[in-house]
């Protein structure tokens, strides 16, 4: 499956932004999916994940209460809605998918399919 992330941009502190990740070349509902983010010089950081059917989700502590992950399998697309953005949310956001993972607490190294990343910049 190929993933295409988009929706990044520049937003002020406290603002909102929505990301999307479109899947092609595969059936979206067969894949567990997730969002990760990375800043230069640091390891890729987990943000949130979602089960195949969308009924189960998990969030990093930094995202809880501010971010919402959801998916529309009919559109082969996953989303990340972000509110109350902080400067520390500035990063390149990547979407990931894997057909065989069963745990929502999987690390980035366990995901086999990645989007190209989209830049989110939160300015003060």
Q: Is the pLDDT of residue 85 over 90?
A: yes
Q: Is the pLDDT of residue 26 over 90?
A: no
Q: 11 is written with which tokens?
A: 């937003």
Query: What whole-number distance in Å separates Cα of residue 92 and Cα of residue 114?
Result: 13
CB 7 within 8 A of CB 118: yes
Q: Is the pLDDT of residue 102 over 90?
A: no
Backbone angles phi, psi at 28, to 5 degrees: -55, -40
Query: What whole-number distance in Å separates Cα of residue 101 and Cα of residue 34?
Result: 11
Q: Is the pLDDT of residue 28 over 90?
A: no
Q: What is the mean pLDDT of residues 99-123?
A: 94
Give the pLDDT of residue 105. 87
Three-class SS state of 98: strand
Q: Is the pLDDT of residue 63 over 90?
A: yes
- The three-state DSSP-derived secondary structure of 15-30 is CCEEEEEEEECCCHHH
Query: What whole-number distance in Å separates Cα of residue 55 and Cα of residue 45?
Result: 23
Query: What whole-number distance in Å separates Cα of residue 108 and Cα of residue 102?
Result: 14
Residue 82: Cβ within 10 Å count: 25
């Amino acid at each position: 499956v190929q993933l295409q992330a988009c929706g990044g941009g520049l937003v002020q502190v406290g603002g909102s932004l929505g990301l999307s990740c479109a899947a092609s070349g595969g059936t979206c509902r067969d894949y567990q999916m997730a969002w990760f983010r990375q800043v230069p010089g640091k390891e890729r950081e987990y943000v949130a994940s979602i089960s195949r059917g969308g009924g189960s989700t998990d969030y990093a502590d930094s995202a809880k209460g501010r971010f919402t992950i959801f998916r529309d399998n009919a559109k082969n697309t996953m989303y990340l809605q972000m509110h109350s953005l902080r400067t520390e949310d500035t990063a390149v956001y990547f979407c990931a998918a894997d057909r065989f993972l069963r745990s929502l607490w999987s690390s980035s190294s366990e995901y086999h399919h990645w989007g190209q990343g989209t830049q989110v910049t939160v300015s003060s």
